[in-house]
């Protein structure tokens, strides 16, 4: 389970998620009851099987919600650490023009080079390492700019 999926699922069952650690290095996530702001569980981001459910969680959020939370925590905690994060994405740039590579999402036309980097409904401009490696044209000479978190 990806961290982004875990966060969304926690919110979908009506709980709040907070992170503990520095802004660049989150160590664990704490799950809170939005009504009391008391923590009901903790899960460790970089520890396989590292999780804790508060002993009184079922009294505070109910048995059904506690069961859902436990199953969610178990799924995330048992996901191998390297599989929890989305793969890094990159913009691919021409070293001469600084234009960005764009590929039509339905792959109906050849790739194009564009001065703008944002993706659109039709065009993809963010690529994973595996996608770049799979291109059927040479890429060694191209520049890559890592997509920042706020651009994902």
Please tell me the pTM assigned to this model: 0.67
Q: What are the average pLDDT values for consecutive 10-residue runs of the chain, which has 152 residues?
A: 93 91 75 90 92 92 95 96 90 95 90 92 93 90 86 64
Q: Where do the domains of the chain lie?
A: 3-83, 89-151
What pLDDT sits at residue 18? 87
Matching residue, tokens 């702001």? 37
| 3-class DSSP assignment, residue 23 | coil
What pLDDT sits at residue 24? 61
What pLDDT sits at residue 141? 93
Specify whether the backbone of 33 is left (phi greater than 0), alpha (psi in -120 to 50) or beta. Answer: beta
What pLDDT sits at residue 36? 85
């Amino acid at each position: 389970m990806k961290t982004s999926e875990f966060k969304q699922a926690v919110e979908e069952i009506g709980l709040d998620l907070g992170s503990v650690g520095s802004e660049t290095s989150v160590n664990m996530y704490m799950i809170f009851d939005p009504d009391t702001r008391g923590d009901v569980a903790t899960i460790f981001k970089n520890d396989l099987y590292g999780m804790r459910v508060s002993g009184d969680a079922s009294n505070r959020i109910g048995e059904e919600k506690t069961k859902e939370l436990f199953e969610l925590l178990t799924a995330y905690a048992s996901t191998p650490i390297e599989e929890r994060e989305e793969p890094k994405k990159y913009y691919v740039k021409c070293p001469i023009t600084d234009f960005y590579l764009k590929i039509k999402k339905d792959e109906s036309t050849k790739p194009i080079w564009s001065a703008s980097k944002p993706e659109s409904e039709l065009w993809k401009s963010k690529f994973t390492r595996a996608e770049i490696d799979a291109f059927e044209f040479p890429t060694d000479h191209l520049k890559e700019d890592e997509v920042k978190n706020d651009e994902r």
